[in-house]
Structure 1
Amino acid sequence: MLYKHSRHSILTLLITSALYGAPAITGAEDAITIYSSAQPGSISPSSYRPVPGRHIGNYNIPGYAVIKSTQQYKLSEGLNRVEVNNVAALIDPTTVSFMSLTDPEAHVVEQNYQFDLVSQQKLLQRYLGRNITVEQELGNDTNIIKGKLVSAMGGLVLEDERGNVYSINSYRNIKFPSLPGGLRTRPTLVWDLKANKGGKHDIELSYQTEGVTWWSDYNIAYSEEDKCQLDLSAWVSIINQSGTSYENAKLKLIAGDVNRAKAPSAIRSSQVMYEKAAMADSTGFEEKSFFEYHLYTLGRPATLPDNSTKQLELFPSVNAINCDKELVFDASNHYGFSGLNTNQNYGQKSEGDVNVYLRFNNSEDNNMGIPLPAGRIRVNQKDSDGSMEFIGEDIIDHTPKDEDVLIKVGNSFDIKGERTQTDYRVNTKSRTMSESFEITLSNHKTENVQVVIREKLYRWSQWEIKSNSHEFSKQDARHIHFNVNVPASGELKVNYTVNYRW
């Protein structure tokens, strides 16, 4: 049957749904503890910031969260059906824990996780053989076709009450009388639970969900006007792509390597939005040891919208941290140890840059003493015009208090190095080997510089320095250091000979 309407009619998809089960009579009180399995600095901004023309987020968020939610339900004595439809879409149903704070003996008899979500294609499949209404544009008018849906393959085929058959390849809208049973507008936990007494029950639900992670970022303002000093600020970024939002939740972050049994990965997509939040010191994160990890608890409720990234201050900025700038020439670093090596051509000559590091001690005496979660650390320095310029970044691992933090900033422009083999002898009968090197450092600066020459003794494990032009220190079973002063606009040569025996 055909009807005509103005093209300016408001056309909508109408779905009527009847819910069953005991509804919640109060809003949820949420608490969320987030665990990260991401490698420090590994999360690309493309995983959480919007991309023009696309609405796809990251497929695999490296982390998870434990959600605890308390809601009040009205239950009857005996068997009840309870629907919880505000759970995360990426919930692991096997981790669900139920507890009635009102009736501790109440328990779940059966649990179903229903995630067959509504879509146009699923509605059409469910309405095969049933009546629907299709709205189709014809010029300035809209034709309405009512009839039984015969097919939804490659278009729609309808049969009206007179037996006329319509093949519809394009349409403006479809009207369904009601929502078929079994389809959900959002993922839902359905419980059959037994209560020993009726009335209002405070029910605590906890579960694990994927699609949530966190990481830390550090920003340093470096100064060498009087001496090497740093100002350090720290931020926490949180991604929530779990499929639900958490309103005014108690937020906790776990820092440490928590072991989990490996599970197959799932492919997911989501839309994203970006949010940044600052906070007052009095409501910041409180840190404490927890088991063999560190726990950071936010001092105020936090809202984590679905498909969002939030940034929070990890701790207030720390100023005047004493540091050391270290220049290191490590031309032998890329030569590996794989057993006895008597190949004379191995490591004969190499040129390299002099690496620049910043080191500071994470102690209370140095205005720190704060456990630092792993993350990316960016270094900036103030120019003479007052602007802050980026000079390098590095990744730090979880760093407890009283440990050193070492940051590789970059390579020196004005200092170069060269490493040359000057002698090599091997005697297979006596099982001995001797090798000599000359290391040349060139300084194009107008002031003297201190440089650490780091040498790896990679040919065999039993070695002895036979001769050396400068003092050295043994660092471990494979490395020695020469700490030398290179003159301004000049060069310095270091020579040594190492004997190996096997």
Structure 2
Amino acid sequence: MIPLVSPIRRLAMPRHLLFVALTAALVTPAAFAANTSLTIYHADNDSLFSGSTQGTLDAGHALVHEQRALEIAAGNHEIRVGNLPATLDPEAIAVGFGKGQGVSVLGQRVLLANASSNGALDGAIGNQVEVQTRSGGVAGDLVGASDNGVLIRTADGKIHLIHDYTSVTLPPDSVSGGSSLLLDVDAKASGQRHAQLTYTTSGLGWRAAYTATLANGNGCSMQFKPEASIANRSGRDYRGADIKLVAGQPNLGNRGVRMYSMAKAPAPMAAAAMPAQATLGDYRSFTLPGAVNLPNGTVTLTPLYATRQLSCQREYVIEDGGAYYPPHPNTNDYGAQDYKDRAIASTLAFTAPENLPAGTLRAWISDRGGAPALLGEGAVADTPKGQRVSVELGQSFDRRASRERTAFHVDAKAHTMSESYKITLTNGGDAARTVTLREHPNRWREWSVANSSLKPAKQTPQLLEFKVPVPANGGATLTYTVKYTWTTQDL
């Protein structure tokens, strides 16, 4: 039978307890969930996937459909549906019994999780408690609690304000580790009925986790392993659930989240089974094969695509400036942006073999002893199939760049301006490398390359890109001059 309960009063003011002995078990759910399906949205909050954070906001979002078998008495009464997530959105929950079950829902309210010192005392107000102090114990009804202490009404009717207490023993069923739903129902007959619950919750989220294992040698090939990393920090387990993952960035409401200790959980399905991919409005969905277990406080890794071999490119990139132009030609003699011995970024690039959801790529290589070594990791944005992916893994140890402006000239009457640079690249490694140099001429939008020691590999209105070969244990120098032009109307 479902226990009848009263609403739990919650106080917003926090209380600092020296020690609270929670002797009661957590609220027993009405029935374990069956036929559960979860639509989990992409989340990019690192704390959701880490055990180092105890609290966060806006972490994860999921839509849950689950069926509960409830024992219902005839007539008008209240039932409690427990084992709901602690991060439940109380304004986004719907329940229905369906036609032919003879049950009408007259009203509902949500009891939020209170498995904390603050929430535990709130939930026990009006109930019998035992308070221990250094000089003894006091038993009575808990009237209230605040930062100043607890108010206890003893059997003689007196009210005691107790400041310095060491523990509080609470009654059974006064503490809930998850949220509960109270339903005011009217049933034509008693018996077991099936209720369909639909709600949204935070504390659940997913992102892609890509593992790239590079082959040793001068070329670039890699074993590419795409997985989905699914975090459950909602405060309850989901077992035997049908899971759909949504890739993309829909606008979702802001929800607060409580965090829990976390352990890694293995994927609960055969490696050969791959998710079924489909479009979902403006987004992509991945339906996982088979039933999945998502225990609370875990991160589950499951295959997103089959592991495959890919060709790739190791790139070394240095970039200056950005795609910005002033409202008028900038003829001032400043902003040279010189630098000396700057580290050059090490990147890994490849063509997306499938639609790749946003996530993190970790690149590995074998050291001389054959042990795997981490080259670095970086973010992957949502990338359609066939598009280029470029991930910055870190800063190269052996390669450096220096930049010096060598000339600057303005002819105001002719409406022209020229600027020259020399970039020196060094390579202390044992293998020759090609460094990609990306410059952004940004004194004015009308510009051209007057001369350069190496032909540009790419030129757009916002970018001037060179591919500079740098020999092993050597260096290379690039020089170029940019000429700007404008009209009287541009001034």
Band the TM-score falls in, shorter-chain normalisation: 0.7 to 0.9
Report sequence identity in percent: 26
How high is the TM-score relative to the length of structure 1? 0.77
Alpha-carbon distance in structure 2 between the residues aligned to 1:395 and 1:95: 32
3-state SS of paired residue (2:479)? strand
3-state SS of paired residue (1:475)? strand
3-state SS of paired residue (2:200)? strand
Letter in 1 for 2:46: I
Which piece of structure 1 moves more, 460-469 or 88-97?
88-97
Partner of 1:43: 46
* 1:256 and 1:294 in contact (8 A); partners too: yes
Alpha-carbon distance in structure 1 between the residues aligned to 2:139 and 2:75: 46
Structure 2 residue 223 is the aligned partner of structure 1 residue 231: yes
Q: Deviations over 1:383-425 (max 9, x none)?
A: 2221111222211101121111112233333333322222211
How far 1:246 moved relative to its partner? 1.3
How far 1:466 moved relative to its partner? 2.0
Partner of 2:121: 121
Q: Which sections of structure 2, spanning at least 5 residues, go unmatched?
A: 1-20, 487-491
Alpha-carbon distance in structure 2 between the residues aligned to 1:168 and 1:454: 67
Structure 2 residue 289 is the aligned partner of structure 1 residue 299: yes
Structure 2 residue 22 is the aligned partner of structure 1 residue 30: no
Partner of 1:71: 68
3-state SS of paired residue (2:121)? helix
* 2:230 and 2:300 in contact (8 A); partners too: yes
Letter in 2 for 1:43: D
Letter in 2 for 1:253: L
* 2:228 and 2:301 in contact (8 A); partners too: yes
Partner of 1:310: 300
How far 1:254 moved relative to its partner? 0.8
Alpha-carbon distance in structure 1 between the residues aligned to 2:107 and 2:83: 19
Structure 2 residue 335 is the aligned partner of structure 1 residue 333: no
Letter in 1 for 2:107: E
3-state SS of paired residue (2:260)? coil
3-state SS of paired residue (1:63)? coil
Structure 2 residue 101 is the aligned partner of structure 1 residue 95: no
Equivalent in 347, 356, 359 of residue 372 of structure 1: 356
Partner of 1:274: 263
Residues 73, 469 of structure 1: alpha-carbon distance in 2 compared, 3 angstrom cutoff: same
* 2:27 and 2:176 in contact (8 A); partners too: no
Structure 2 residue 235 is the aligned partner of structure 1 residue 243: yes
3-state SS of paired residue (1:452)? strand
Alpha-carbon distance in structure 2 between the residues aligned to 1:170 and 1:406: 59
3-state SS of paired residue (1:121)? helix
3-state SS of paired residue (1:89)? coil
Alpha-carbon distance in structure 2 between the residues aligned to 1:456 and 1:297: 43
How far 1:293 moved relative to its partner? 1.4
Partner of 1:458: 442
Structure 2 residue 371 is the aligned partner of structure 1 residue 387: yes
Q: Which sections of structure 1, spanning at least 5 residues, go unmatched?
A: 1-11, 51-55, 363-368
Q: Deviations over 1:104-128 (max 9, x none)?
A: 996533221223848653466424x
* 1:48 and 1:274 in contact (8 A); partners too: no
Residues 132, 217 of structure 1: alpha-carbon distance in 2 compared, 3 angstrom cutoff: closer
Alpha-carbon distance in structure 2 between the residues aligned to 1:328 and 1:18: 57
* 2:345 and 2:394 in contact (8 A); partners too: yes
Alpha-carbon distance in structure 1 between the residues aligned to 2:428 and 2:26: 78
Equivalent in 106, 113, 123 of residue 109 of structure 1: 106
Alpha-carbon distance in structure 1 between the residues aligned to 2:348 and 2:420: 31
3-state SS of paired residue (1:471)? coil
Alpha-carbon distance in structure 2 between the residues aligned to 1:226 and 1:349: 32
* 2:322 and 2:442 in contact (8 A); partners too: no
* 1:85 and 1:186 in contact (8 A); partners too: yes
Q: CA RMSD in A?
A: 3.9
How far 1:309 moved relative to its partner? 2.8
Alpha-carbon distance in structure 2 between the residues aligned to 1:170 and 1:420: 70
Alpha-carbon distance in structure 2 between the residues aligned to 1:72 and 1:325: 57
Alpha-carbon distance in structure 1 between the residues aligned to 2:338 and 2:176: 69
Q: Deviations over 1:437-492 (max 9, x none)?
A: 22333344455433333221111101122223322244321112223333444443
How far 1:361 moved relative to its partner? 1.4
Letter in 2 for 1:271: Y
* 1:157 and 1:168 in contact (8 A); partners too: no
Residues 481, 134 of structure 1: alpha-carbon distance in 2 compared, 3 angstrom cutoff: closer
Q: Deviations over 1:56-90 (max 9, x none)?
A: 62322521111110123355777564432122222
How high is the TM-score relative to the length of structure 2? 0.79
Computing the radius of gyration over CA atoms, which structure comes out larger, 1 or 2?
A: 1
Alpha-carbon distance in structure 1 between the residues aligned to 2:35 and 2:60: 23
Partner of 2:55: 58
How far 1:497 moved relative to its partner? 2.0
Which piece of structure 1 moves more, 440-449 or 416-425?
440-449
